[in-house]
Amino acid sequence: MARKNLLELIAREGAPARALVSKVWRRYAMRGIGGNDNHAALETLYALPDPWGMTTAREQSRFVQTNGVIAAHAGRVGSLLEIGSGEGHQSEHLAQLCDKLYGLDVSERAVERARERLPGATFGVGELTALPFEAPPGGKFDLVVACEVLYYLSDIGRAVEAMSGLGRACLVTFFCPSARRVAEHLQDIPGLQRGWIYHDPYAWLWAYWEPGAEPGGDSAQS
């Protein structure tokens, strides 16, 4: 049996060994993928389904709370672009808040699984600076989100700039231990609003902005 198939068998949803296998695999496969655009390593990571544990209570809670932040700040939108859409776990939640969901990821395996999960959405393999699909009429998305993805990029500042160019509104979330690295690229955005997402003992920061907003609207919330 091919190695990939064996991994999938052991780690299928509901299999007793799944949590352990996921943890070990993630630890092994995630070495060296921080902050360096290591797309090949991300693709390898997806040899195992759901390498990030997106079905856990922790991640499901983050998805629900992230939707709450979006509902409170942007409301329901027409078009939503999700950067780093992975296998589409968070996309399922984001799809509830928009008429049309677009998802972008550098991993082909992840995108294939996302397409199966959410056939009504448009998913493509690519990067923020070279979208694999047409932007909606007018060239802008109503909302661009990047959740738990910016720390894999070598140039976070450039990604934030590209988000601002593509979205009428933008949201990023990032896991607390990486806050310093990501937040420094956001703090000078005019009108930035920020807050926390908690699922004890975990915490994430969120930041929301509307490109072109006047300075002075900054507010920190919990």
Which residues sit at the interface with ligand SAM, rule CB under 6 A? 42, 52, 54, 83-84, 86, 89-90, 104-107, 110, 127-128, 147-149, 152-153
> Among candidates 97, 114, 154, 162, which has minimal Cα distance to 135?
162
Nearer to ligand SAM, 93 or 140 (CB): 93
Nearer to ligand SAM, 90 or 193 (CB): 90
Min CB(105)–ligand SAM separation in Å? 4
Task: For ligand SAM, give the closer residue by CB, 104 or 186.
Answer: 104
121 contact partners, CB below 8 Å, separation of at least 6: 88, 91, 95, 100, 101, 102, 103, 114, 115
What is the closest distance, in whole angstroms, from the C-beta atom of residue 19 to ligand SAM in the complex?
Answer: 17
Query: What are 173's two structure tokens?
Result: 């979330």
Tell me how far, at minimum, the Cβ of 4 lies from ligand SAM, in Å. 17
3-state DSSP assignment of residue 64: helix
Long-range contacts from 27-36, C-beta under 8 angstroms, 24+ separation: 33/152, 34/151, 34/152, 35/151, 35/152, 35/153, 35/154, 35/181, 36/152, 36/154
Identify the CA nearest to 173 among candidates 67, 77, 35: 67
Smallest gap from residue 216 Cβ to ligand SAM (A): 30
Minimum distance between the CB of residue 210 and ligand SAM, rounded to whole angstroms?
Answer: 21
Whichever of 69 and 153 has its CB closer to ligand SAM, that residue is 153
Nearest residue to ligand SAM, using CB? Answer: 84
Indicate the burial class of 128 (C-beta count within 10 angstroms; 0-12, 13-18, 19 or more). buried
